[in-house]
């Protein structure tokens, strides 16, 4: 993705500015909308079979894509301020160039970056309490995150913790929105 690339998600144009990170499943970019708001934009490569299923309204049965759709469906809901909220998603491209994108709030950093600078006792207790609050909500929805680590615990502009990256989570059927 170039720094000038524009991705349209549910009528909103996101202009990519820089890559923030790279994981096993995809990459995350800093993006800006026409109104100057910044977001994090996740880009995941998908198969052509997934594109065909998405266009026809069929539920895809391909493990990576199915995981990401479950993650998106779960995070589109406003469960708690402690759980990342996706603002929209789109499938772009075709064939070998097909990608799934979704937009979410751009946070100040992660707990991993905060820990590098040192965490005082009061902040450690607050982050622990906020993580437990997030996990209580997640588990009440019959979801198991399975990848809780400092890199997946985002810190917002108010220094509050947000649980993110449900890519390998286990979702009970009741957790998925139809």
The model's pTM: 0.85
The mean of the pLDDT values for the chain is 88
**Minimum mean pLDDT range among 19-28, 95-104, 147-156, 169-178:** 169-178
Q: What is residue 57's predicted lDDT score, i.e. its pLDDT? A: 65
Are the C-beta atoms of residues 111 and 161 closer than 8 Å to each other?
Answer: yes
- Catalytic residue, chosen from 35, 52, 120, 147, is 147
- Asked if the model's pLDDT at residue 23 lies above 90, the reply is no
167, pLDDT greater than 90: no
Q: In a 3-state reduction of DSSP, which class is residue 169? A: coil
Q: Would you call 156 a catalytic residue per the annotation? A: no
- Between residues 47 and 128, the one the model is more confident about: 128
List for the chain the helix, strand, coil content (%; round to 5). 35, 30, 35
State the pLDDT at residue 49: 65
Structure tokens at 141: 């929805």
Interatomic CA distance for residues 112 and 169, integer angstroms = 20
Q: What is the DSSP letter of 12?
A: E
């Amino acid at each position: 993705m170039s720094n000038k690339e524009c991705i349209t998600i549910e009528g909103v144009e996101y202009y990519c500015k820089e890559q923030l990170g790279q994981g096993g499943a995809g990459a995350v970019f800093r993006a800006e909308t026409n109104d100057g708001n910044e977001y994090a934009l996740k880009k995941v490569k998908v198969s052509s079979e997934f594109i065909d299923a998405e266009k026809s309204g069929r539920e895809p049965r391909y493990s990576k894509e199915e995981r990401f759709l479950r993650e998106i469906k779960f995070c589109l809901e406003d469960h708690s301020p402690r759980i990342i909220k996706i603002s929209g998603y789109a499938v772009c491209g075709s064939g070998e160039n097909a990608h799934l994108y979704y937009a979410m709030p751009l946070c100040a950093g992660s707990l991993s970056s905060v820990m590098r600078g040192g965490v005082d006792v009061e902040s450690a207790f607050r982050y622990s309490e906020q993580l437990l609050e997030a996990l209580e909500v997640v588990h009440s929805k019959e979801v198991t995150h399975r990848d809780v680590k400092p890199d997946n615990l985002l810190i917002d502009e108010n220094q509050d913790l947000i649980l993110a990256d449900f890519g390998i989570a286990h979702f009970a059927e009741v957790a998925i929105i139809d």
